[in-house]
Amino acid sequence: KFVSEGVSIYYYVVEWEAGDLSWADFRGKVLGPTDPADAPADSLRGLIASKWEDLGLKAACNTGDNGVHASASPFEALAERMNWLGYRVERDQFGKILLKAGVALGTIKEWSVDPQ
Mean pLDDT of all residues belonging to the chain: 91
Per-residue pLDDT of 28-58, as tens digits, reads: 999 999 999 999 999 999 999 999 999 988 8
Cα–Cα distance measured from residue 96 to residue 36, given in angstroms and rounded to the nearest whole number? 35
Cα–Cα distance measured from residue 28 to residue 8, given in angstroms and rounded to the nearest whole number? 25
CB 32 within 8 A of CB 44: yes
CB 49 within 8 A of CB 39: yes
What is each CA distance from 48 to 22, 32, 54, 55, in whole angstroms? 22, 11, 9, 8
- For the segment 82-88, the average pLDDT, to the nearest whole number, is 91
